[in-house]
Structure 1
């Protein structure tokens, strides 16, 4: 059975709420503290990007199963300006916000599966999954 919950990202406090929800779901799903931290960090980055670049959006967290594997899928979506140059955004060290530039490549490294669909002027959807090993 899949379980799904979500947080609308509108204010900075919603980033905190999304992180907390992610940590709770990861714990309930049976992830250890290291993977809980990875999932929480990924959610934090994705929610922060929604807040900074799109203004508003949503983080959905879903417990998933696939071929006997169990995990957590995070879907970050917005109707913002989209990503103009996806290849550049996926480069380590690239930043437009003055941050460390760990953003999207960091999320990709923290999770087991990572997919970005972005259309300039229409928004972005990022799906990231972590499997319980």
Structure 2
């Protein structure tokens, strides 16, 4: 396994992360608990196929086919095998993830936050 899998740990932000993601064949986010992981969005923005747990906000990002219940190593291992043996599937996932990541730019997220707060304040204070 050591010649095929690299467990990297934490990287510095910015260029180191993007350089690493540009070399990745498959990004895995097997979180037991999670919010909406920026690391997954970063992987998607670099065109990485992603497999992930269904923890927290991850299902908002990843097609349900490629999700596993937190801690379900059997489903994750089946998904890894499926994806790594189907290059067309990997390309399809990479393209879909890249397109989906465009919904999470800083500019779009800021607009959503402002809209959310505006709606909340209007509800409290009126128009």
Shorter-chain TM band: under 0.3
- The higher relative CO (CA closer than 8 Å, separation ≥ 6) is in 1
More strand by share: 1
Structure number with the higher helix fraction is 2
Rg bigger for which structure?
A: 2
Q: Could you state the TM-score of these two structures normalised by the residue count of structure 1? A: 0.27
